[in-house]
Amino acid sequence: MGIESIIHFIQDDAILLMLLTPLLAGIFCAWIGTRREMGAISVTGSMITLLFGLLLVDKVLANGSASALNNFLYADGLSAYLVLIISVIGLLANIYSVSYIHEEYAQGTIDAGRLRLYHFLLNLFLFTMLSAVVANNLGVLWVMVEGTTLASAFLVGLYDREESVEAAWKYLILGSVGITFALFGTILVYFSAQSAFQNGAGSLNWTDLSNPAIAHLLDPSILKLAFIFLLVGYGTKAGLAPMHTWLPDAHSHAPTPISALLSGVLINAAMYGILRYHHLLLASPVTAGFSANLLLIFGLLSIGIATPFILVQKDYKRLFAYSSIKHMGLIAVGIGLGTPLSQFGSLLHVLNHALSKALAFMGAGNILLKYHTREIFRVVGAAKIMPFAAIFFFLGTLAISGVPPFGTFLSEFLILAAGFSAGRYWISGFVLLFLAIAFAGFIIHASRMVFGSAPEGVVPEEAPAMRLWPMALLVFLVLLLGLYIPNPLHTLLQQAIAAVNVP
């Protein structure tokens, strides 16, 4: 086989190779089990995964879609967009992990067995999330979303402390209950599809259901009932209120790199499932307004519930967890508004939030390793203890607060502008008010932690470069997206919007 044939094979099967890489990396980590080699394997695996992910994105940009294994795996603009986010955050979290989790090993927080388990489950977690967003069959999507729960629940309880084990069980139980609702909704969609196909066999393949000739024949009454179950089910994993109660505990007790993945990537993968079914309801005038209104209701409820907890929060990792609930609510509101501008803003916010939240959690992890506490009032003067890490942490807090010129400001502005332009004044006014209140809370908390006199007994020492470079890159990316959206990304966003809407 010549070089050209190899390149052609890689391009054609990038979607399959992308999935195999983290799976094999996890297996090798479990098999080899030495500290230095596990870190190298995980980072190398994530680099290769990102490479295949970029090849997949390039193919989707050129052809509109990509598939493999006889259409069992399928990616359109929305899938490729999520693949890009998962691959980028996955690589940066893996690089950060090399220093973070191994320092915890050196401090005796975890033993060699849990270190091996961490690297195995981290790569398995990435595999399940990537598989979810490229699964053509909506039943397989459900299986892989459930797989993310199983992989990440053990990571939440990695420290084997009473509070972390409790958080892991709470996450596992509530996530499983939610995903059971999603299963029932999936079954209802299949039942609705039976009458739409000539042979009466039905199908759960996205490429079949999204066909306008089929989508128009789906039973609207059954679809409405199905979407309620699906929104509750996948909304539980996405952190939408009032199904959000697992999220603050899981995000605060998980290892910090996993918190970055849970908040920046996992909840987006769950929202991806909601968007797929929202597309099906948009195909019929009878059901289009139904799903949009539900997204608006749950989105506004999430923003309204999360904001007061941000103001009174005493744990900075839980602070960022409640921020995730607020941001997912904002994304749901933008999709529910249903205008091209609001949808563009929402999908752009998916990326901006993922980058900003990964940055904020990585900063929180550096502070946790230095101060050995998650309590806000016990952290002060971080800028004098670890200047670069503290600055990046503060910038991450500003980013998730929507301060210009960060990308989050741009995407939030687009959603609000779309709402006011569409005459949805009370919705936009509500969102703007609560965004302003949350901003005040974040500034107060972050300023108290970063500035001031350094406490006695905390030795000034900068965080290692392996934990600073991923944060520096995240700062650059979220600033770049606030000032300029590269043409390939803009094109991919347009294709993702087209995948949500109905032609």
pLDDT in tens, 30-40: 887 677 789 99
Q: What is the pLDDT of residue 458?
A: 82
Q: What is the pLDDT of residues 252-289, one digit of tens each?
A: 899 999 999 999 899 999 999 999 999 999 887 778 88
Q: What is the pLDDT of residue 111?
A: 87
Q: What is the pLDDT of residue 457?
A: 78
pLDDT(136) > 80: yes
The model's confidence at residue 501, banded by pLDDT at 50, 70 and 90, is: confident
Is 272 within 8 Å of 132 (Cβ atoms)? yes
| Strand, coil or helix: 205 | strand
Q: What is the pLDDT of residue 33?
A: 66
Please provide the size of the chain in residues.
Answer: 503
pLDDT(151) > 60: yes
What amino acid occupies position 67? S
pTM (whole model) above 0.75: yes
Radius of gyration from C-alpha coordinates of the chain = 22
Q: What is the pLDDT of residues 101-135, one digit of tens each?
A: 988 988 888 888 899 999 999 999 999 999 999 99
pLDDT(21) > 80: yes
Break the chain into its structural domains and give their ranges: 3-500
Q: What is the pLDDT of residues 285-343, one digit of tens each?
A: 778 889 999 999 999 999 999 999 999 999 999 999 999 999 999 999 999 999 999 99
* Exposure letters 404-428 (e unless 16+ CB within 10 A, then b): eebbbbbbbebbbebbeeeebeebb
Residue 28 has a CB neighbour count (10 Å cut-off) of 19
Average pLDDT over residues 46-54: 96
Q: What is the pLDDT of residue 35?
A: 75
Q: What is the pLDDT of residue 112?
A: 86
Q: What is the pLDDT of residue 445?
A: 94
**Which token pair is 299?**
């989105």
Is 49 within 8 Å of 126 (Cβ atoms)? yes
The model's confidence at residue 198, banded by pLDDT at 50, 70 and 90, is: low
The model's confidence at residue 456, banded by pLDDT at 50, 70 and 90, is: confident
Over the chain, what is the mean pLDDT? 92
Q: What is the pLDDT of residue 199?
A: 60
Q: What is the pLDDT of residue 2?
A: 54
Q: What is the pLDDT of residue 108?
A: 85
Q: What is the pLDDT of residue 143?
A: 95
pLDDT(473) > 80: yes
Residue 47 has a CB neighbour count (10 Å cut-off) of 14
User: For 107, what's the count of Cα atoms within 13 Å in the CB-facing half-sphere?
Assistant: 12
Is 318 within 8 Å of 259 (Cβ atoms)? no
pLDDT(383) > 70: yes
Percent of all residues in the chain with a pLDDT value above 90, rounded to a whole number:
78
Output the CA torsion 51→52→55→59 (10° steps): -160
Q: What is the pLDDT of residue 11?
A: 62
pLDDT(10) > 80: no
**Is the link from the previous residue into 242 a cis peptide, with omega within 30 of 0?**
yes
At 46, give phi and psi (nearest 5°): -70, -35
Average pLDDT over residues 211-225: 86
Residue 210 has a CB neighbour count (10 Å cut-off) of 17
Is 386 within 8 Å of 465 (Cβ atoms)? no
pLDDT(188) > 70: yes
pLDDT(144) > 90: yes
